[in-house]
Structure formats: C-alpha cells, structure tokens
Structure 1
C-alpha cells in the first residue's frame, strides 16, 4: 500500500489505505466517534470509476473517481446545520488495488466496499489540505469549517447511507472499525499535515483522459455545479479516453 501511495504523489486514497490496517487493532480504542450513535446521511447522484493507466505490482492500475457531469454525487448530512452539510466530491485518484472489489460493491455484492463513502471522506481530506495551504477556490467552500472529528463522522454517516439504500449489505463489524480507524491518531496526523494540496491533484494527462471518456466530466464550462479541477489544466491535445470500469447511482 505504501508503494502505491508514493507512486501517485500522495493521492486521495492515502488516508484510507494507511489507516484501515489499524481498524482491527489499536485504532478502535483511539477514536471518539461512536458509529452506532451517528445519524444516517443521504447520497444522491452518480459517479464513475475510470482506469487511466497501468500501475505497479501492488495494484491493478491507476484509477479515478469521476462525478457524473449531469448528475454529480452529493452527500447530505442529516443535520443540515452541521459542518459539511452538503458535499460534492470532485475528480480524484482511487486505489487501483481495490477496484475489483469496488466494481462488486456497485452491484451490491460486498459489505466491505464502501467506495462512495470513501470518496466523500477523501474529498474532505483533499479540500482540508488545500484550504490549510491557502487555496481559496470555491470548489472547496463546502468543506470549510469541517474539523477532524467531523470528517470521521461524515464517513460513518455515508456508510450508513449505503446500508440504508441497500448498496451494501449490513455488517456488524466493518462500519464501526472503519469509522474508528479514520478517527484514530494516525488519521489525525495525516489531517494535520501541511503542504499536501499540490501533490493531491489529478495530473493534466489523467484529467484529459477522463474528459475524453465523458465530455463535460471535468470542464467547468459544462459542469459548473460540481467541484472540479480548472479547465486550464487540461492539455489541448488528443488523448486516449479513460476506460469506464463502473458506475453507481443513487436516487
């Protein structure tokens, strides 16, 4: 996992892959987030998983989470006054090694594949790091004011939303363990890091590949409502379209 993290310049998935190893151990004892007491959020819209190239021996390749340009994924917290009450995640890398499981999750086959919830949580981390580094882009505004404990609670609430909509099967252990892990000391250390914003951005080449696969998925001109990378970062050259691996939608 660490090799993949370094390979992709500290991509969004770095938190989940670094922390989940602690879920069955000491992390649960370090968290102040009680999954059972969390409210159930609501997911709407759609997202795509795209393959943009070969990875290393640790995974199956380089993958992106891409919001549907016509109906982007949105997460709503039950408490509309809570920090991060409505979150629209933008384009980001995801862990190639977990994509086969993710594809199964989208069909409701695996109780461990909480991929849309991870996307919401990882986008909170990306936005937080960019805000801390002084980024004033509007795409990060809905995450301003979200604290570390809020980020863990948001993940738990998103997992509950997946279970409530039967996207994944109920599980007595996994949701609480994952929520505890992302509320752990290890996760807090990652949250407190500075200077990470630039390294978390999707490359211009991969942005262009996603755009070629689904026009409007990354360009602001056609997708003003979503939090996306600026159009200026997309190179004006012909590129091979990314391969769409899976799509998941919420009513």
Structure 2
C-alpha cells in the first residue's frame, strides 16, 4: 500500500546513488504464522488490485527482528487494506519486482505505515504499541530485514538488486513525505462490508483486531454465516 511507485523510482536511484540503508549488511529477520489476503476491488494504477490483509487469531503472522532490543522487535500486523508492493506494470518485468513477490515483508511494512498514520492522528490504541517507537529509518531497515529473512528461509530466491532497490525506495525522501502525512488514518478504517467478509473467511479476525484497532462503528453488520468464504490458499511459515 505505502510502498507505491516509490519502489520503481527507488530501483533507478539504487543503481546510481548510495542508499541510506545498506541492504547487504542487514541481518535477516524471521517469520511465523500464516498470511492470508482477500481481494476487495481493482485498486489504482499501481499494483494488481486492492486487498485486505486478514489476521488469523489462531495462527497470526508475526515478524521478529534478529535483535530483540531494536524498535519493532516483534510485529504482528492487524486487519488492514493493502495492495502488496504497488509496483507499476512497467517495473514488474524485472525479477524481484512483483507486487506480491515479497508479500509477507510488504504486510509488515504496510502495518508500520498504517500504525504510523493513526498514531500521528492521535490514535492511542495499544495494538500499535509494538511499532510506536519505530522511526522512519527503522521502517526501511525492518523491510530489508524481512526480505532477507524470506531469502534466509529459502521462501524466495536471493536478489540483492531487487532487495536493495526496494529498501532504498522506502527510505527515500518521497517515502518520508508519506511517513509524515497527517489526516490519513480515517481513510485506513476498514469498511464494515469488508470487516464482515474478513470475519466470514477467518472467524475471530475482526473481533480480535479490527474493532480494537480502528474503533469500528456499532452499526457494523453481523456476519452472514451461510456466506462464509472458502479459503483457496494460505502461506504458512
């Protein structure tokens, strides 16, 4: 969601300038749990549509940094909108720049930005405490560590060019402008119909995460049990 076209710009910058974060020197983090996303609509001009990350309360996706003393040492993303890496079509021809190639890492980065936007808008929900002290520089390091963790676990092939480009992009001036943006939290609130769809797919996902994180209105409709979604595939670590 928040990586957007800056990944494409960053891939160019990475070939001609020094990155503020050296991807090659970052330690790998580690993942556990399951990753599940639902299609919501076609989205914008970048990425391959708009999706909803749905946390499984029985097997939550969790990322751990190699150094437990670092900010954001343990991150468990909550219910949120995402469009993966938001890679423009023109850039997707390059190896490693698929909008879903590093999907678990993108979910962690999206959650950091979602939390950041709500924190700067005055949201004090404890669900954001795990990333409340994460700085902008930390956010790009965490994404790089997450990608390296996927490589280390042999879930993706090594690709220092793509990993370096993406890490550079999310640490760019353009990304910093998004990091400091105010008034964005209200647009991140998951719509009631999408909350119901998430609950139908993974019972308990909206009850444990969404209502506490985004203070959803009481008029959120009940979930029609007879329309419970069928999960086609799930990525588990």
Q: TM-score, normalised by structure 2?
A: 0.83
1:179 corresponds to: 167
> Deviations 1:64-117 (Å, cap 9, x if unpaired)?
111222010011111111111100001112228979xxxxxxxxxx84400110
Of 173, 176, 196, the residue aligned with 2:184 is: 196
Q: Is the 8 A contact 1:49 1:245 kept in 2?
A: no
What is the rounded CA distance, in whole Å, between the counterparts of 1:43 and 1:96 in structure 2?
17
Q: Is the 8 A contact 2:199 2:206 kept in 1?
A: yes
1:94 equivalenced with 2:97 (yes/no) = no
What is the rounded CA distance, in whole Å, between the counterparts of 1:197 and 1:159 in structure 2?
26
1:166 equivalenced with 2:154 (yes/no) = yes
Root-mean-square deviation (CA, aligned residues, Å) is: 3.0
Q: TM-score, normalised by structure 1?
A: 0.79
Structure 2 unaligned runs (5+)?
88-94
Within-5 A mapping of 1:51-200:
51-53=39-41, 61-95=49-83, 111-112=96-97, 113-200=101-188
Structure 1 unaligned runs (5+)?
1-12, 100-109
Of 207, 214, 221, the residue aligned with 1:235 is: 221
1:211 corresponds to: 199
What is the rounded CA distance, in whole Å, between the counterparts of 1:18 and 1:98 in structure 2?
6
The structure 1 segments of at least 4 consecutive aligned residues displaced by more than 4 Å after TM superposition are 53-61, 96-99, 226-233, 239-243
Of 18, 29, 36, the residue aligned with 2:5 is: 18
